Structures are given as C-alpha cells and as structure tokens.
Amino acid sequence: MIRIEEYTPIVGEAAIEGLFLLAKHLRGKVIQNINSTAVGGGVAEILTRMIPLLQQLGVDARWDVIKGNEKFFAITKKFHNGLHGVPVSVTDEEYEEFLEVNRDNAGQICFGDIVFVHDPQPIALVEKRQELGNNWLWRCHIDFSKPDPAIWKFLERYVVRYDSAVFSAPAFARSLPIPQVLIAPSIDPLSEKNKEIPEETINSILDRFGIDRSRPVVTQISRFDYLKDPLGVIRAYKLAKKHVDMQLVLAGGGATDDPEGPAIMKQVQEEAVKDKDIFVLFLPPSSDLEINALQRGSTVILQKSLKEGFGLTVSEAMWKAKPTIGGAVGGIPMQITHKYSGILTNSIEGTAYWIKQLINEPEYARRLGSNGREHIKNNFLVTRHIKDYLLLFISIFRESDIVYL
Amino acid sequence: MTDFHFYVKFDQTLLLGQRAKNVPELLEGIRRVPESCIYYHTHRFLQQHHYLSPEPPNDFAYWVTEVLGDKVLGEQLSSVDTIQFESISGLRDRFVSLIESHLSSGAKTVDCFPGEEFHFIASRTFAAPTPYIAHNLGEFRDILQRVSISTLYYHIFDAKLRLKRGENDFSKWFDSNGMSALAEAVRNLDPYTYTLEGLRKRILTLTKEHDPD
C-alpha cells in the first residue's frame, strides 16, 4: 500500500502538511462513499487509491457498493448513454425498477455523517436523507455537457436534494439551486503508468516494439476511436515527415463502443502497412508499464482528439515532461495553456506544423515539457484531488465565502 | 514587537452554471456575478501557472482573444492593471466600462463555436493558521523562505482584494513595528509582474536590505 508520505518528495512537505491540517477538521465524521462497482472502471480505481490515503490522514472514510441485478444495470447503462448524448428511451417501468433497487439498497447500507454518492446509479439513495438528517454529496464523473433531457429531468429531482453536486469540467455545470463544485480528475505519480522507470526499461520496451530511439518518436496513446482521430494523426505525421525524419506510434486498446471503430482500425492498419515508420500497437488493459515507457521514450506526444471528456493521457504525458500537442477540446485546454505548457491545435495542418517545430527546436520543446510537468504537479496529481475532497467535506459545515479554519 | 502569524489558504472552485457565447453575454455575466468570480478570473492564471513568466492575462482577455478572435478588445482587457485597484468592485467596473465602450463603438460581435463558451467560475477561500509565527524580522525571513506558495499568495494577493484589507499583510506588519521604509518598499512592488517564487525572492531581498541587524 502506498503511504501518503511517499508523495512528499514529489509535491513538497507543505502540500502534505496541508492535507493533514484539513483532515483534522473532519475528526469524528464518517464519510461514506457509495458507488455501483468495486472493481473495474474509473470510479472504482479512484476510490481504491483514495480511501486508504484518506484513512492515513485520519479521516474515517468508508466505501460501500450498491447491489443490482442485470435489469438494473441495463437501465443504468441506458442512463449512461443518454447522459452522453446518445438517444435512448427509458420506460416508466424501468424508472420504477431503478428506484426499487435504490430503495432496497438504502435499507441495507449503514449511512455515515457525510454520504458521498458517485454517479447516477445510486443517486436515489438520497430519499433517505430526510429520515437520517445527515449530509449528502453527489459526484458526477461522466461527461454531462449534453444530457438527454428526459433522463436529466428524472435525475434532477434527486440531484437537487443533495447539499452539493461535483463535476469534472466547467461545461458540465447546470443551472441548479445547490452549489456546484469543480473537481478535476487526477493522475497518480506513483502508479505503474506514471512512476519513474529506468532508461533500460524504456529502451527494452521500445526495442521490443521495434522502435528506434535514435530517431524522433511521435506518439499518441488512446483508443482506436473516431473521436481520438488516429487517421488525422497519421495525416499530420505524413505532412510533417516531408521535412523531418520521425516515427509514429499509435498505441491503445482496440475495444470501443463506437460503431465506426472497426472501420477506423482497419484504415489505421492499412496506413501502417504502407509505412514501416508507423507503429500501431494494440495494447491489452494490463499494459501500464508499456504505456509509461512509450510516453517516456517519445520525443513529442499527441492527443489530437476531436471530442474529449477530460483526457487524462495529456496529464500523463505532461507529467513525464514531454512536449505535448493536444486538440483544443473538452478538458484538454484545462491542462494545456497554448505555447506555455504545451500546444493546442484545431487542425491536421496545425498539428503537423507544431510536430515539426517541436522536433526541430528541442530547447523550446524542453521548456514546454518542463512547464507542463510543473502545471500537472500543481493541479492534476492525486494529492490535489484529495485536498479538493477534504475541502468539499469541510465546506458542508461552513457556509461563508471566506472560511477561517 | 508584535507577532506575525503565517496562514495558508486553500481554494474551492465553484461552478456558477452561467456561460457566455459572445461579448454582450460576457458583459452581462461580469455585471452580475459575485465578486469572488471576478477575483477568480483575474487571479486564476497567476495561481495555477505561478512558475511561468509574469504578466499573466485574465481569463476574460484570454477568451475574447483566443476564442472569439477579437484582438482589439482582448488587448484592452489584458491591459487592465490589477495592482491599481483597491477593490474587486473597482476592477469589475473597469471591465464593464471597457466592454461597454467597445460595444458602443459598433464593433461586430460574433458567437463562439458550441463547446467553447466562457464559463463563469467562483471560488471559496479557506484560510488556516500554520504553526509558523515570526517574532522579529530575522524569524520572518527564515519562515518566508520555507512556507508554501499558498501562504505567500494569501498574505500578498488575497489580503488586499479578496479579504478587503486594503494592502498586503506584510507591509501592515512592518508598519506596525516601526519598519515603515520596508513596508513602503513591499507596498510599492507590483506583485502581478513576478512569478510567485520571484516575488518571494524579491521580498526576502528587501527584508535583508532593510534589516538594521
């Protein structure tokens, strides 16, 4: 288990002292996290990492998982798709079934002083609030920019009963009568995907894939999905390669819900066959060390998304001090400030232009990379995420605009 | 000599659920949002990018220039000199008058692309005492060298505008302990033109220059 003190060399003593100082104000409070799955998925991953760290800070943080049958999860999958803007139809019976499962679970959970509910699946547990008289927070981890109106109307009845709602990006905020808090996601600098690794490991992994480290390497790590624009990346590479020697690595998972996914994958592979300097790597889910090495072994990293929720691969690359070029969409501009901590682009031509610039001007690229790492250190590491959660819990009991602790 | 108690601050970011897609909507928002929102958008860059070169732009200028492509208004908004304002309401009035005058000159207004709207954000400040207390200038200097950037930020930026104390906490303490020349020197700094580490170094240098011991 990772100890909170292990983060001190990375974020500094003052930052860790700050966490202990805030945690002191939550003594005697039980903070009950509730979500719908114990393993798999981003929320379970965050809670697995965070609960032990909160406990080490002296916070009585707990975690419960609601139980549901297949029918319930089919309904919540519909909710999920609808909130992402996919047209879905949910029947009255399905809404009723959803509420029934929530009510069954409410009867079995031992609720804490602060109930921290993650995502829509357990949202209706808040019906218990009146009876218990405790505090409730709702954390929405998903892209909420264009929710299906009918599903939102149903969920809104429950959201407004919470003390506060938490979103990951400004675009997800709604017009609500309760406070809405912005808490961005984070990366863990001590995880397999982000920890420091020896040069030999980087070399041996890149060697295994046949990538030549003596020549520039441009990499995009992401799903083979239309919205990540792998074909646009290949076109940008081809434009840039007319003037600069380089290799292109496209690495990520092959699985996707996108119906156009298989066609995109096929086209990407066809392009790769024609050019020995394009490496298309389909990585299984357990490839964190390989991703770490590919990022660290790259000269420039791309995340040329056409649409993006938050895009944590950008933070991962920047944390490794890599000059990073990102599409100016979703949460990417929160991570990259153009020409200060990375490059934002809106087109294939712009991406090609900046690939050339960054390969030809390594000193400028190094400065962007160094600024990028500093920005991630200050804003997107798990310690900042913990601080935001502690403030969220404390804020329930302190209402003023300026709070003296 | 009175003691100086160092504080540390933490910010919680609040989404107001209000957005603007063009300059008139930006103006409307600036007029009615809470003061903490104006403060957030004029100081966020400084705090989040404190390692970068100084002269950070405010969010209004950045959005108008980069998203709407209105270079003229963008330049006017980025030239608003925050140090000259004694209150957030004065700062707000300046943005309002610049945008009003731009609009009344007949400037064409355009809508941004969907998804690139300006989102109004505010912050709540949580301040807590640290264990660090200075009883004299030497101790003050020793402590200032090691406290977090948030502590420096709180006593210099938050104290004057956000906490409405009229000036930075350091100058106030120097003044009340007979170090008026040092108080004046720190008061005369334009903290917005330094990185936070650069500002820390500058204040440390001033305290050495003015230390009678």
List A residues 353-382 in contact with B (Cβ-Cβ < 8 A). 371, 374-375, 378-379
What was the pLDDT predicted at B51? 61
Whether residue B114 sits in one domain with residue B74: yes
What was the pLDDT predicted at B124? 95
Decide: helix, strand or coil at residue A324. Answer: strand
Whether residue B172 sits in one domain with residue B111: no
The H or E element spanning position B118 is strand B118-134
Whether residue B150 sits in one domain with residue B68: no
For the sheet containing A217-221, what is the strand order? Answer: A278-282, A247-252, A217-221, A300-303, A324-327, A343-345
Could you list the residue range(s) of the whole structural domain that residue A240 is in? 199-379
| Chain B residues within 8 A of A160 when measuring between CB atoms | none
What are the C-alpha distances in Å from B52 to residues A57, A371, A383, B19, B99? 32, 7, 22, 28, 28
Question: What is the tally of structural domains in chain B?
Answer: 2
CATH of the domain at A47: 3.40.50.2000
Residue ranges in chain A whose pLDDT is less than 70: 40-41, 254-260
Q: Do B14 and A182 touch (CB under 8 A)?
A: yes
Instruction: Tell which of B126, B146, B195 to mutate to test the A interface (max A CBs under 10 Å).
Output: B126
Assess if residue A402 is contained within a domain.
no
The last residue of a domain, from among B80, B95, B122: B122
What was the pLDDT predicted at B107? 84
Question: What is the tally of structural domains in chain A?
Answer: 2
Whether residue A285 sits in one domain with residue A222: yes
Could you list the residue range(s) of the whole structural domain that residue B69 is in? 11-122
What was the pLDDT predicted at A256? 44
Q: Do A402 and B162 touch (CB under 8 A)?
A: yes
Whether residue A227 sits in one domain with residue A208: yes
Whether residue A78 sits in one domain with residue A10: yes
Q: Is there a contact between A301 and A295 (Cβ–Cβ < 8 Å)? A: yes
CA angle A268, A271, A275 (to 5 degrees): 135
- Is A391 at the interface with chain B, CB within 8 A? yes
Assess if residue A401 is contained within a domain.
no
B interface toward A at CB cutoff 8 Å? 8, 10, 12-17, 34, 36, 48-52, 66, 115, 117, 119, 121, 124-128, 130, 146-148, 150-151, 162-163
Whether residue B187 sits in one domain with residue B116: no
Whether residue A221 sits in one domain with residue A263: yes
The last residue of a domain, from among B97, B122, B147: B122
DSSP state of B160: I
What was the pLDDT predicted at B50? 63
Residue B101 half-sphere exposure, CB side, CA atoms within 13 Å? 10
Q: What CA–CA distance (Å, rounded) separates A83 from A88?
A: 9
Whether residue A315 sits in one domain with residue A206: yes
Whether residue A310 sits in one domain with residue A388: no
What was the pLDDT predicted at B49? 67
Q: Is there a contact between B112 and B22 (Cβ–Cβ < 8 Å)? A: yes
| Chain A residues within 8 A of B37 when measuring between CB atoms | none
The H or E element spanning position A349 is helix A348-360
What was the pLDDT predicted at A169? 87
Residue ranges in chain B whose pLDDT is less than 70: 49-56, 212-213
Whether residue A228 sits in one domain with residue A160: no
| Chain A residues within 8 A of B17 when measuring between CB atoms | 173-176, 180
Q: Is there a contact between B170 and B203 (Cβ–Cβ < 8 Å)? A: yes
Whether residue B131 sits in one domain with residue B103: no
Q: What CA–CA distance (Å, rounded) separates A320 from A5?
A: 21
- Is A146 at the interface with chain B, CB within 8 A? no
Whether residue B108 sits in one domain with residue B196: no
Q: What CA–CA distance (Å, rounded) separates B211 from B189?
A: 18
| Helix axes of A362-379 and A312-319: crossing angle, nearest 10 degrees | 120
Assess if residue A297 is contained within a domain.
yes
Q: Scanning the structure block, which residue is given the tokens 């064409």?
A: B108
Whether residue A374 sits in one domain with residue A255: yes
Q: Is there a contact between A49 and A382 (Cβ–Cβ < 8 Å)? A: yes
- When the pLDDT of each residue in chain B is averaged and rounded to a whole number, the result is 91
Name every residue whose Cβ is closer than 8 Å to that of residue B98 and which is 6 or more positions away in sequence: B73, B76, B77, B80
Whether residue A303 sits in one domain with residue A387: no
Whether residue A287 sits in one domain with residue A275: yes
Whether residue B135 sits in one domain with residue B113: no
Of B8, B14, B147, the CB nearest to A179: B14
Assess if residue A32 is contained within a domain.
yes
Whether residue A271 sits in one domain with residue A130: no
| Chain B residues within 8 A of A329 when measuring between CB atoms | 115
The last residue of a domain, from among B93, B122, B151: B122
Whether residue A291 sits in one domain with residue A271: yes
